[in-house]
Amino acid sequence: MNPETRTVEANGLAFECLEIGDGDRLALCLHGFPDDAGSMVPLGSRLADAGYTAVAPFMRGYAPTESAPDGDYSAGALGADAVALAAAYDEREGFEGAVLVGHDWGAVAGYVAALQSPETFDRMATLAVPPRFDALLPRHPRQVLRSWYIWLFQARRMAERAVRWQDFALIEFLWGTWSPSWDYPGERIESVKATFSEGETVENALGYYRQIVGPSVRGLLTGGSVPRVDRQPHIRVPTLILAGTEDGAIGPELFERADEAFDARCRVVRVNGAGHFLHQERPDVVGEEVVSFLGEANGDGDDDTDDGSGETSDGGDEDGSTGEGGNESRGDDG
């Protein structure tokens, strides 16, 4: 299904959005790094087939969406963008409801949007990043090492040069490292490189990482205090969290107690054989899980009402509990 392109004003910025389908419910699909809106189109097409209008914006600062005039690429700004985009589309189309799907930084935007405006989205599905990542990071030494790129990105000018070096070789390296079993399509990564070649996309994308280094991480680096995870605010939007078992960017231990971030239903599913870009690597498995969970808000899905469940998908007929939190795994051969 080929998307249409529309420019939408929201939260003081002009967002370039890819639109798929014409359903009566909105599915806002937010991409991550290093990526662009095009990577959300296959999942958006599945959502469109399920009765949604799927909208995949180029995130704040990712050309052709405008740069933030005040340089704000904080998680708070990303969450406000999501809320404002949903409101702008609802004002124009009068949708019957809205859901959010976010990958990587899109997941961060979703968590923050749910805290800022819990009434905006009926349900969420987030991919590859757990809630409270910035607060969890200092508590997991192995993750501090996995997140080496965050520390690299703090070095102004050097980081920009590193990203652009040899036709964005770092982007290819990150894709290959974060999803080690994925033979990614050449045309997809070339499209992402083209996005990063436009305007100030590189500088803006690095700004996300420079503004996430907040009190928790500064406490780690300076020997100061680190805020307690259990004192973070709780999310009140039912959420499906999907993570690949081969993710080279985010370790599985960060998802083990994800349900503690919620005062609503949270289901954690691990997708076997998938890495960080699981929605592109295993589109059928991820699409099935996302469509089913989001559809429960409208009586269209299988409403298994377990709270804090976590499962592992092997793509067969059985789901198995795999330890504390009941991590569920999904995967298949396709």
Residue 64 three-state SS: coil
What does the pLDDT look like over 195-232, one tens digit per residue?
999 999 999 999 999 998 765 555 555 555 545 545 67
What does the pLDDT look like over 231-286, one tens digit per residue?
678 999 999 999 999 999 999 999 988 999 999 999 999 999 999 999 999 999 99
Predicted pLDDT of residue 333: 44
* Domain ranges for the chain: 4-133+234-330
Helices marked H in 179-277 — which ranges?
186-197, 201-212, 215-222
Predicted pLDDT of residue 135: 78
- Looking at the predicted structure, is the pLDDT value of residue 305 above 60? no
d(CA 42, CA 5): 15
Predicted pLDDT of residue 106: 98
Of the pLDDT bands very low, low, confident and very high (cuts 50, 70, 90), residue 136 is confident
Of the pLDDT bands very low, low, confident and very high (cuts 50, 70, 90), residue 301 is very low
Q: What is the DSSP letter of 99?
A: E
b/e map 181-208, b = 16+ CB within 10 Å: ebebeeebbeebbebbeebbbbbbbbbb
Residue that is written with structure tokens 């100061």 in the block? 224
Predicted pLDDT of residue 204: 99
What integer is the mean pLDDT of 75-97? Answer: 96
Burial level of 158, CB count in 10 A (0-12/13-18/19+)? exposed
Predicted pLDDT of residue 311: 66
Q: Is the domain 4-133+234-330 a CATH 3.40.1670.10 member?
A: no
What integer is the mean pLDDT of 109-123? Answer: 97
CA R_g for the chain? 18
- Looking at the predicted structure, is the pLDDT value of residue 303 above 50? no
What integer is the mean pLDDT of 190-199? Answer: 98
User: Is the preceding omega at residue 130 within 30 degrees of 0, hence cis?
Assistant: no
Question: How many C-beta atoms lie closer than 10 Å to residue 19's C-beta?
Answer: 18
Of the pLDDT bands very low, low, confident and very high (cuts 50, 70, 90), residue 4 is very high
Predicted pLDDT of residue 194: 98
Query: Which tokens is 51 given?
Result: 């009765």
Tally helices (H) and strands (E) across the chain.
12, 10
- Do the Cβ atoms of 277 and 175 come closer than 8 Å? yes
d(CA 221, CA 237): 33
Choose among 230, 242, 250, 224: nearest CA to 137.
Answer: 250
Q: What is the mean pLDDT of the chain?
A: 88
- In this prediction, what percent of the chain has a pLDDT beyond 90? 75
Of the pLDDT bands very low, low, confident and very high (cuts 50, 70, 90), residue 121 is very high
- Do the Cβ atoms of 250 and 243 come closer than 8 Å? yes
- Looking at the predicted structure, is the pLDDT value of residue 318 above 50? no
What does the pLDDT look like over 148-162, one tens digit per residue?
999 999 999 999 999
